[in-house]
Structure 1
């Protein structure tokens, strides 16, 4: 997983709240078993509308999504995170996230940043007025900055540390591989064992 430290880019102002995982990734597309190849189905129902914000040329290539409150509610569909990343998003900013989405996103390297609604409104207005505006999301300092202001955001130390180091669940566990193998070598042969593949 790619480490996340500081990211600066344009943003998409998604002025919608209560965006659930079925709107992010419509369930009819969840027939594949791969974790990639979903960029074209992100917000598929909305992208069929010509005036949807992500269809506007000025927002093409942006990798920060600024959404309304309660983004990623609903099911535990990991496809939602995969589709956002496949499209190119590295950060989602929202006043509030669905709990499961907020847990799933950092495990894949997608940073969910919670900011007050008034700050989200300010960012929306800024980006709508000047789509080329660059926003910086600094996980090292836990700060979001844009022309004219900078605000802190909270993020738990454990998850932050893993993102800064680029560690997913597997790579975080593999740091203790020698300890695990040493423990397994001391266990009685009659106990169940694990087999390492690959």
Structure 2
């Protein structure tokens, strides 16, 4: 079976964006990474792609290898008309809950763009409150729209890089291996070394896991 080229992979996503652009003109895609982990921030990105400078290979970041995501990240940053990346930390997640923290991050990312879009496409089934421009949710948007796919790559790579830096400061938690997700190994390391400020305490309590005396 012939392997598809990057251009062929991205073609349906760019076709979707072309239809949106024909209706609304300039628009942004928004996505997040890191809603599920036990620690670290949730990272949100908004992106306005340049239709005259396509980035081929864009797709749902989860379907791409780490090496491919890294390469696409650099191209998106170079070619996008505008982008904004926002980190929302564990303190906000614990205070507001993960959904509200994510929605707030999405609003910040959109408002932080250098260009004001006429429309915002948001991955998922809901949109942030308080946006000053029209917005539409797109279920599985990161595999539907090139703009949302680009935002998913910006968010995923940015968060992974953050966790790799955190791993250097706290090597005992092996964050580079699991990126903060609740793996068996991660729970064992929490039990051994305790909770640090970068942990989402609300997540650990919700799952009934709270190391005694830690």
Give TM-score scaled by structure 1 length.
0.24
Q: Which has the higher helix share?
A: 2
Highest RCO, 1 vs 2 (Cα 8 Å, sep ≥ 6)? 2
